[in-house]
Structure 1
Amino acid sequence: MTDGDAQVADVSTETFNRVMVTNALSPMRVVEALQDVVPPTGTIGVMSSRQGSLTLNDRAGHEIYRASKSALNQLMRSFAARHAHDPRTILLLCPGWVRTELGGPDALLTIAESVPGVVDTIEKHAGDGGLHFVNYQGQTVPW
């Protein structure tokens, strides 16, 4: 995101809308459109972020990104509530701080280190049912 450390009042409406559509609305559209192809024993997972946690937000920066991931988490929580009797597992997944264009060169993990953890976490939670907010190591992330 280009305005990563800008305060919310300084971010253009266009940037705000773009980030919210990319990180919250679009993933939910995919979930809604494809939910019927996920079997009852399957898992629906979306890429969230530790930065979407309200509890863990104890420092400034990346306000719009954080808000977009919090919005995604809230929308997935609503999805789970609408499907309360659905046996499928629903995962909000945090990949860790990964060296990508968004994560930057100082990030702690490579893509090759993060992805196996994400896959293992998805497999570990198979059949659990319900909504889970977890990181790539399978640890619960506080809301």
Structure 2
Amino acid sequence: MCDVYEGSLICISAFFSIVPKTIILCLLFKFILIAFLNFNIVCSPLMTLAGITSVTISSIVALYQKKIKRLLAYSAIGHIGFILIAFSSGKIDSVKSSLIYLVIYMIMSLGLFSLLIAFSTRGFLFKFLIN
């Protein structure tokens, strides 16, 4: 995912940052809530482990990134981990919180990529964090 972000235009990175994750998470939420009535027994430990692993690894790797797009890619992985951790408790309030977090994440990503696109059209290319 990081190589896709880094090798593509900012508008394409924005698309890959927002649309696929939103669709996959919404389908996952719907599938699990409809298909598994005993969610806590079936999916909770696996989803908790996946969430904690993605948050931990993405946070550690993001500390050493010098390029903005790679940092955003690892940040996206961490955000998905937070959503999975919240969803893994299996309670309806945590599902609502996960969906609210997903909406806030989408709005934040749109704003951030809009700023990067606006700066790049004016001739400011931010590739590295050192600029």
- TM-score of the two chains, using structure 2 as the length reference: 0.38
Q: Larger C-alpha radius of gyration, 1 or 2? A: 2
Q: Which has the higher contact order (CA 8 A, sep 6+)?
A: 2
- Greater share of strand: 1
- Greater share of helix: 2
